[in-house]
Chains A and B, each alone.
Chain A
Amino acid sequence: MDISFMIEIVPRLLRATWVTLQVSAISLMIGLVFGIVLGVLRVYGNRFIVWCTKGFVIVARGTPAAIQIYAAFFLLPRLGIRLPLFAVGVVALTFNTSGYQVEIVRAALESIDKGQIEAGLAIGLTRWKTMLYITLPQAVKRMMGPMTNEFANLIKASSALMLISLYELTKSGHAIIAATFKYAEVLVLVALFYFVLVQSLCKLSAYLENNVFNFGKTADPRNEFLN
C-alpha cells in the first residue's frame, strides 16, 4: 500500500467526512423531532392520525434509501420545489430515518408499565400530561439503544447520496479511485472514517444512557460496588 499517497488524500477525505457528518447530523436531528412527534401520535392519536402515521412508516421503511434519494432528487423539482443538493440529501435521509424512529418511539412508549399511566391518571393528570411527564421520560432511556442503531445506520445510509453526486465521503473516495485507480488505499481510509464516526456516536450514546438518563445512581447495580 502506498502510505504517502494515503496521507496525501487525508485532507480531501476529511472535508468530505465533514459533509457526511453534517448531512447525517441534520437529518438525525430533524428526524428525531418527526420520530418523537409521530411516534407519540402513533400511540396517543385518534384513529385517523394513527392510520396516517402507519401509512408513513410503511412507505418510509418499505422502500430502499437509494430510491428515496432518487425520488427527492427527481420528484421535488417537478413539484416546483428547487433545493440545493445538500438540502435534497437532508430531505431524503430525514424521510428515511423518521420511518424507523417512529417505530422505535412507539415500541418504547408501549413498553412502559400500564400501572405508571394509571398512577398518573389517578393523581389527576390528563392523558397527555401523563405521557409528557411520566411515560415519555421513562421511554427515552429505552429508546437510546435502538436509536443508536438507527443513527449508525443513517450515517452509513448517507453514502447512498453519492448517487446524486453529493460530495460526501463515499463520493469523494469514488472520485479519487476514478482518478488514481488506487482502490485499496482509498477504501481502507473511507471505511476507517465511517468507523470513527459511528464509534464516537456509540460512545456518546452509552454515556447518555448511563449518566444523563440514569434515574438514580444505583440504577446500574455495578455502581453499588463503586460507591
Chain B
Amino acid sequence: MEKILLKMEHIHKSFGQAEVVKDFNVEVKQGEKVILAGASGSGKTTILRMINYLETPTKGKIWLDGDYIGGHYNEKSEWVSDSMQDLAEKRKQIGMVFQSFNLFAHLSALHNVTLGLTRVLKLPKKEAIARAEHYLNKVHLSEHIKKYPHQMSGGQQQRVAIARALAMQPKLMLFDEPTSALDPKLTNEVLEVMQELAEEKLTMVVVTHEMGFARHFADRMIYLEDGVFIEEGPPEKLFTHPESEKTSHFLSFCGYKEGDI
C-alpha cells in the first residue's frame, strides 16, 4: 500500500453560530487524486482552505507527511500552536490554486512564479528564473511570461497560478474551484493542464463542479452535504451506484442519472 500523505481527523469548523463542517475525516495517499463534491455551502471549500490553515479548524487535527499543521505536540503531549514562521514553513509544502486566481497584480507572470522561489525557497535569481520558465512552459505559457495578470485571459491567469504553485514543488496540490470563473473554452485549457499533472503522480485534492472532468480524473470522490460527509468511492461508483439518495439526487442535477454509464 502507498504511504498516507494527508490526514484530517474529526475536523469541525464554525463561523459564529453556524457549523459549516461537522466531524470530517479523510486520508489521502501519495499520488492520489481526490475530488470534493457537493452543492454550494456544503463546506468543501472550507475543508480545502483548512488543509493549509487559511481557515483554522475549530476542532480536529490535520496531518501532512509526518507533521501536524497549525501546531505540534510537545514532550508533555500538550498541543502547541504554530507561530507564523512555523506555519509558513509548513504551507510551502502545499500548493494552492484559487477560484479567483489571485495572481500578484503588480508582477509579471514570470515574477509571480519567482517570488516564492527567491523569497521562500531562497533560490539564487538565475536558478529561480530557470525553474519558473520550466513550469510556465509546462502550463503552455512560455510566450506570455512577460505579461502582467491584467493582460492575460482568465485561463492564462489560472495556468500561471498553477505554475506558481507547482514551482514550489509541493507535496500536495489543492485546487479550489479552479474553473468556476472561466468560460467553457478557458475551462478546458485549465482542465487539460490538470489532467497532465494527474499523469505525473502528483497528489491533488480538488473542489470542482466539473463532474465530467471529475469522473475520469479522480481516483476517489467524496460527496458532502451541509458540512457532513455523505459517501465516498471511485467516481464511477458514485455516478452509477451511489449508496445515498442524496448523492444521486445531487448528481442528477449535474446531468447524470443513476445507472448512467
Contact = CB atoms under 8 A, between A and B. Distances in A.
Interface stretch (B64-72, B102-110, B133-141, B240-248): B102-110
Nearest to A139: B106
Nearest to B49: A118
B102 A123 contact: no
B94 interface: yes
B92 interface: yes
Contact of A119 (B92, B94, B98, B119): B98
Given A124-B120, A216-B150, A118 B102 contact: yes
Contact of B54 (A118, A127, A129): A118
A218 B54 contact: no
Interface residues of B, number: 32
Interface stretch (A1-9, A11-19, A130-138): A130-138
Contacts of B85: 126
Interface in B142-176: 147-148, 150-151, 161, 164-165, 168
B203 to A, nearest CB: 16
Contacts of A122: 52, 54, 91, 94-96, 98, 165
Interface string A176-198: 00000000000000000000000
Contacts of B234: none
B116 A123 contact: yes
B100 interface: yes
A206 interface: no
A129 B104 CA distance: 14
Contacts of B150: 216, 218-219
A113 B94 CA distance: 22
B148 A133 contact: no
Contact of B88 (A118, A125, A138): A125
A215 interface: yes
A121 interface: yes
A215 B106 contact: yes
B100 A123 contact: no
B106 A121 contact: no
Contacts of B105: 113, 116, 138, 215
Contacts of A116: 102, 104-105
B174 to A, nearest CB: 8
B88 A126 contact: yes
A128 to B, nearest CB: 8
Contact of A123 (B106, B148, B151, B168): B168
A215 B150 CA distance: 9
B147 A216 contact: yes
B31 to A, nearest CB: 22
A124 B168 CA distance: 9
B89 interface: yes
A84 interface: no
Nearest to A123: B116
The listed residue with most A CB atoms (<10 A of its CB), out of B89, B94, B95, B148, is B148
Given A121-B52, A123-B116, 4 more contacts: A113-B102, A127-B84, A141-B106, A215-B107
Interface of B: 52, 54, 84-85, 88-89, 91-92, 94-96, 98, 100, 102-108, 115-116, 119-120, 147-148, 150-151, 161, 164-165, 168
Interface of A: 113, 115-116, 118-129, 133-134, 137-138, 141, 215-216, 218-219
8 contacts: A122-B52, A122-B94, A123-B91, A124-B120, A125-B116, A215-B105, A215-B106, A216-B108
